[in-house]
Amino acid sequence: MKILSEEELELKFQERIDKGEIIEPKDWMPERYRKQLIRMMSQHAHSEIVGMLPEGNWITRAPSLRRKAVLLAKVQDEAGHGLYIYSGTETLGISRDQVMGDFLTGKAKYSSIFNYPTLTWADIGAIGWLVDGAAIVNQTALAKGSYGPYARAMVRICKEENFHHKQGYEILATLMKGSKEQREMAQDSINRFWWPSLMMFGPSDNNSPNSAELIKWKVKKYSNDELRQRFIDRTIPQAENIGLTVPDKDLKWDEETRHYSHGEINWVEFNNVINGRGICNKERMKARRDAHENGAWVREAANAYARKKASKTKAA
């Protein structure tokens, strides 16, 4: 059998991608494809885990038992998503310890959105509606991506995100039917979360170093700006439906393109947040580092149990 050169293998790999074939963990893949996926998937998993913090902040203060139970379930879902995607990342040959190490030392990023504080109950509505709404737009596209374990994880995760999206919208719709103070609280929350939600889609296309490669390999099916536009087009009618507005004086419907055109995103703020200088970056990292340290005994106990079980099986 002829041994293929690296170049020939890469050509064959690209042919598979172009035909729409799904790549599985044991298939040959370029080192760069593997590295890009590890970067993107691990950052996604970290985002799910850090995303529990701003919402977890409101579990004890939810306005009713029903709201508390729903929020608890949602935060728990996010933990599941994180663990699921960490497992997916391990199929690329990197250990959980390495992935966690890169996160806790600040080498790996997590989504900018979770560096904003949740100041009122309405923020739980805004996170469900806007943040999970943005995540759905992004992740339904990723569900059609080329790497099997990641794409399959997205299918399941998006189902749960849909429920999160609806519960967020329902919180805001309820507030908008309430008192003047409740309506103002809902609007204030959208004023604070609108632009950060648009930033979730990443830098604009002419400033996104990873997009070209990820699109060539069909990990990403659409560009950052395309998905951001899709999110805006979908979300504005929902806002109007319950009487909310978004804080963008340049936003308008363009009859010709049949899309909303929008104002300029504050990229200075975005770059500050993704480089550790957002409102809550320090607090979020401290919470995760403390949780990791406090959980050391669980990892040690699990390892001791696994070792004991392995030695018993060997002896039998």
Residues in contact with ligand 3HC by CB under 6 A are 39-40, 43-44, 47-48, 51, 78, 109, 111-112, 131-132, 135, 138, 199-203, 208-211, 214, 224, 274
Residue 239 · residue 190 · CB < 8 Å: yes
Q: DSSP 3-state assignment of 147?
A: strand
Q: Which is nearer to ligand 3HC, 134 or 183 (CB)?
A: 134
Task: CB nearer to ligand 3HC: give 16 or 39.
Answer: 39
Torsion of CA 117, 160, 130, 81, to 10 degrees: 40
Q: How far is the CB of 314 from ligand 3HC (least distance, A)?
A: 41
Q: Cβ 148 to ligand 3HC, closest distance in Å?
A: 16
- Pure H helices in 201-295: 211-216, 224-241, 267-274, 281-294
Q: In the bound complex, what is the minimum distance in angstroms from residue 128's beta carbon to ligand 3HC?
A: 9
Cα distance between residue 80 and residue 45, in whole Å: 10
Minimal distance, residue 197 CB to ligand 3HC, in Å: 10
Backbone angles phi, psi at 114, to 5 degrees: -85, 10
Nearer to ligand 3HC, 29 or 75 (CB): 75
Q: Which is nearer to ligand 3HC, 151 or 236 (CB)?
A: 151
User: How many angstroms separate the CA atoms of 109 and 17, rounded?
Assistant: 27
Of 13, 97, 10, 103, the C-alpha closest to 49 is: 103
Distance CA 313, CA 43 (A): 37
168 in Cβ contact with 74 (< 8 Å): no
* Pick 182 or 266: Cβ nearer ligand 3HC: 266
Q: Which residues of 88-125 are buried (b: 16+ CB within 10 A; e: fewer)?
A: bbbbbebeeeebbebbbeeebbbbbbbbbebebbbbbb
Neighbour-count burial of 246, counting CB atoms closer than 10 A to its CB (0-12 exposed, 13-18 middle, 19+ buried):
buried
Shorter beta-carbon distance to ligand 3HC: residue 126 or 200 = 200
Nearest distance from residue 70's CB to ligand 3HC, in Å?
Answer: 15
Q: Give the nearer residue to ligand 3HC in terms of CB position, either 256 or 264.
A: 264
Least Cβ distance, residue 115 to ligand 3HC (angstroms)? 9
Q: Which residue has the tokens 């919208």?
A: 169
- Nearest distance from C-beta of residue 295 to ligand 3HC, angstroms: 21
**Token pair listed for 175:** 């507030």
Query: Which residue, 94 or 183, has its beta carbon nearer to ligand 3HC?
Result: 94
CB of 296 to ligand 3HC, least distance (A): 26
